[in-house]
Each structure stands twice: as C-alpha cells, then as structure tokens.
Amino acid sequence: MLSAHLTYLIKAQEPVADLSRLAEHLPYEWIEHAVRATGTASLRRRRLPAEQVVWLVIALAMYRHWSISEVLDGLDLALPSEDAPFVSKSAVTQARQRIGEAPLAWLFGRTARAWTRQDAARHAFKGLSLWAMDGTTLRTADSPANREHFGAQGYASGRVASYPQVRAVTLTAIPTHLIADINFGRYDTNEMVYAKGLLPQIPEDSLTVFDKGFLAAEILCGLTMGGHNRHFLIPAKSNSRWEVISGTADDATVRMRVSPQARKKCPALPEFWNARAIRTIDARGRERVLLTSLGDRRRFKPADILACYERRWQIETSYCELKQSMLGAELTLRSRTVEGVYQEIWGALIAYNLIRREIASAAWEAKLEPTDISFVRALHTIQHEMMWAALTPAYAKLPACLKRLRERLKSLPNEKRPGRTCDRVVKSRPHRYTVRFLKKNLN
C-alpha cells in the first residue's frame, strides 16, 4: 500500500539528495500528526484507519474520473484482511465521516507553509516574494444540506442557479502556483471578507498582486500596516479618484481619501492613504493605471512593475489546473454533505500542491521555471507512478520508481508558441437537449 511505501522511505537511511520521492514532500509523520492533533486517530484496528482515509481523500482528487472503490482498490489503500478482501462502499463512507475535515485542513496548513517557504528566496523579485490573491467558485452536488449551507447564485430574473456554490479566495505563490492559504464557505459571503482573513498569512518582504475588485483601503492599508515591507500592486478602477502629490502624469505619487463608511467599519484606517500611480500600456495596447506601494522609483521601474502585474494571471492558470485539469472539469464535487464538501476541497488542495511541489523540485534540478513544465503531463506521470508503486511488492524498487518520476517531470516542458495570444472570453454553454417552445392557442 502507498502509505507503507512512504513510511519505508521516510525511515530509510539513504541521503535525501539521492532519492526524488513524494514522501520527501509529504512525510507520513505529518499525516499521523494531523489525525492526532485533531483527535481523529483510530482507536482500534480497522481496514481503513484514519491515516489511510487521509491518503484516500487526497487520491480521490488525483483520480477524479475513478469511483471511490476504484481508487481504494487501485492504490491498495486498505489494510489487508483474509476475511474481507474488499471494502464495502458503506465502510468507506463511514470511514470518511469518522475523520471529518479537520485532519485534512490541518495537513493543508502544515504542507502549504512548508512547501511555499522552500521557494520564496529562489524566485524573488528584487528581494520580494511574489503572491497573487483572487477569488473563484466551485459547484457542489445539489443536496438540500449543501443548498442550505452554501447557497447559490441568484439572477436578476429571480431564478437561482441549478447547483449550490462554494466561494473561495486564495493566496497563491506566483512563480510556483502553490496555494499558500485559502478561505472558503458560503457563496453569499463577499470576497472582501475572505480576503481580509488571508492578510495575516502574507509574509514579510513580499509583493501581492490583486485583482481590481479588491481595491479597498481596508484590504490594502491592512496589508501594508499589518507587517514589515509588505507591498501591493493593483489596477485602478475607472471611477477611482485621487489627488496628485508629486511626480509626472505617467508616474505619480497620489493621495486617496478613505470613505467615512470604511473608517466607521475599521477605525484604525487613516483619513488618507498614499500610493504610486503608474500609467502604462499593456501588450494589447490598452491603457492601464497601476497602483502600488512600491515607492522607490529607482529600484522599481514602471516596466518591472508592469511585468509583475502581467504575471498576476498565473493565479487564473492555477484555478484552471485545479478545476479543469486535475478535477476533470466535472460539473460538481463528489460529496453530497456539507462536511464531505469541506473534506473534499482540503484534499484537492493538498493533491494540487503536492503535484506543484514535485514540479517545482524537478524544475529546480533542471534549471527551468516551474511554469515551464506541463501540469497535465506531470499529473498523468504522477498518477502512473502511484499506481506502479501500489502494485510493486518490493519496497526497494520504489526509490528508483520515484527517482524516475522526477526525471520524467524534467522532460515535460510546456510547448509555448511564440507570439500566440489567447483572449479571455466567456462562451455560452451549448444546450444538451433540444428546447421545445409551446405556442399558445390564440383561438
């Protein structure tokens, strides 16, 4: 079974540099600590103890088009038993319900902190680590519990979306696409609320790029005032107003007033806040004004700041990798219960970060950027190697298997065509069935 292979590797005495392995990034001890810290450790011997269920939830995200039984049997995650060679579906459901979401949430936090810290210095921008913050949504199964807890999008016509939705805001490392932290929950909760909760997690000596929807003094001032050398970069809205203090029309220091409503909500906010306004022309010839707290004009040139903002779209790519590539563009998540949805999302985030962690390590060894390696092909390679590891009876063969995994990842560069651009457009979903219109009888 996979966890036993990982446990063997952790206890092995070979130097870490000689083995490229998944357990290097997700040690089995972390999983054991997660179930102990959250009080979900199994008290008696089971076919599916808590540690195995954690791995099962993570694997369900990597093998999205497989049923739970196929994932369980294919990766040999259940402990062996002569009396019952197969685990029933009800037993798997009960096992997931026993551990809940807490161990997965704890494990995500532990792994995200460790993995993002490894690359902070490698991909810094003039001494600052690069981050992006944005929001996304996930559809859940249309069960009464999910609809009541998460809610759904409402339309001007009065209609409500067909499926409940989870709203989420993530903090993502731009160079590696690793998700450092996330806040998610009800759909009707404003993204600003989720974003405000992520501010304490942004490290010092950093630059965070925001979407213009987060242009608010509470967010941006909260970022700069709440830590040392933490900076923001965000495009101005068409209705943004300010007073020019110094500089030129293309690169000026401006002062903006904080609204009385914002100061009433957060008394710590100042009456005015300053920013640097840079007027630029992007690659498509559109004029844009970028607001930033990077005030040193000699160190941070307008062209450098524009290049940083263009990299903001990496967070959109990470959403595509997570929702489209890894989760298979499925209409909804698997779970029909609220706690199951939370558990599934935490497992998917760990799985995504585990793949991205392997890609970053392979890229570092091959002297490439992490974004130069194809995520889809890396996912398929890791899926294949996990299956191979589960079917290999001899533990001694696994180090060579996982070393081969790293070598394969280094040979999977993205084939980017020079000069190719893909406009962001929204296309209507085609109707699956014919729409029948009934004519009224006018006679």
Strand 206-210, strand 230-235: pairing: parallel
Read off the pLDDT of residues 48-93 as tens digits, 9 standing for 90 and up. 888 888 989 999 999 999 999 888 888 878 776 666 667 888 888 8
Average pLDDT of the residues of the chain:
82
Contact 27/8 with Cβ under 8 angstroms? no
Q: Can you tell me the distance from the alpha carbon of 27 to that of 14, in angstroms, rounded to the nearest whole number? A: 15
Contact 215/234 with Cβ under 8 angstroms? yes
Question: Does position 426 have pLDDT exceeding 80, yes or no?
Answer: no
Contact 108/349 with Cβ under 8 angstroms? yes
Residue-level pLDDT at 171: 97
**pLDDT band with cut points at 50, 70 and 90 for residue 3:** very low
- Output 408 or 2, whichever has higher pLDDT: 408
Give domain limits for the chain.
Answer: 2-99+374-410, 105-317
Question: Does position 169 have pLDDT exceeding 90, yes or no?
Answer: yes
Residue-level pLDDT at 405: 62
Q: Of the ranges 52-56, 270-274, 327-331, 338-342, which is most confident?
A: 338-342
Question: Does position 425 have pLDDT exceeding 70, yes or no?
Answer: no
**pLDDT band with cut points at 50, 70 and 90 for residue 175:** very high
What is the arithmetic mean of pLDDT over 32-41? 78
Read off the pLDDT of residues 337-351 as tens digits, 9 standing for 90 and up. 999 999 999 999 999
What string of DSSP letters covers 109-171? HHHHHHHHHHTTTTT-BTTBEEEEEEEEEEE----HHHHHHH---B-TTS-B-SS-EEEEEEE
Measured CA distances, 243 to 221, 258, 275 (Å): 17, 13, 10
Read off the pLDDT of residues 61-72 as tens digits, 9 standing for 90 and up. 999 999 998 888
Q: Which fold has domain 105-317?
A: Transposase Inhibitor Protein From Tn5; Chain A, domain 1 (3.90.350)
Q: Which contacts (CB < 8 Å, 24+ apart) does range 377-381 have?
A: 377/412, 378/409, 378/412, 379/62, 379/325, 379/326, 379/355, 381/405, 381/408, 381/409, 381/412
For the ranges 56-60, 121-125, 352-356, 378-382, the lowest mean pLDDT is seen at 121-125
For the ranges 40-49, 202-211, 235-244, 329-338, the lowest mean pLDDT is seen at 40-49
Read off the pLDDT of residues 120-140 as tens digits, 9 standing for 90 and up. 767 788 889 999 999 999 999
What is the arithmetic mean of pLDDT over 153-172? 91
Q: Can you tell me the distance from the alpha carbon of 253 to that of 245, in angstroms, rounded to the nearest whole number? A: 5
Residue-level pLDDT at 394: 45
**pLDDT band with cut points at 50, 70 and 90 for residue 231:** very high
Q: Which contacts (CB < 8 Å, 24+ apart) does range 382-390 have?
A: 382/22, 382/62, 382/355, 382/358, 383/62, 383/63, 386/2, 386/22, 386/59, 386/62, 386/75, 387/74, 387/75, 389/2, 389/5, 390/1, 390/2, 390/5, 390/74, 390/75, 390/76
For the ranges 67-71, 227-231, 244-248, 402-406, the lowest mean pLDDT is seen at 402-406
Question: Does position 173 have pLDDT exceeding 70, yes or no?
Answer: yes
For the ranges 48-57, 150-159, 326-335, 391-400, the lowest mean pLDDT is seen at 391-400
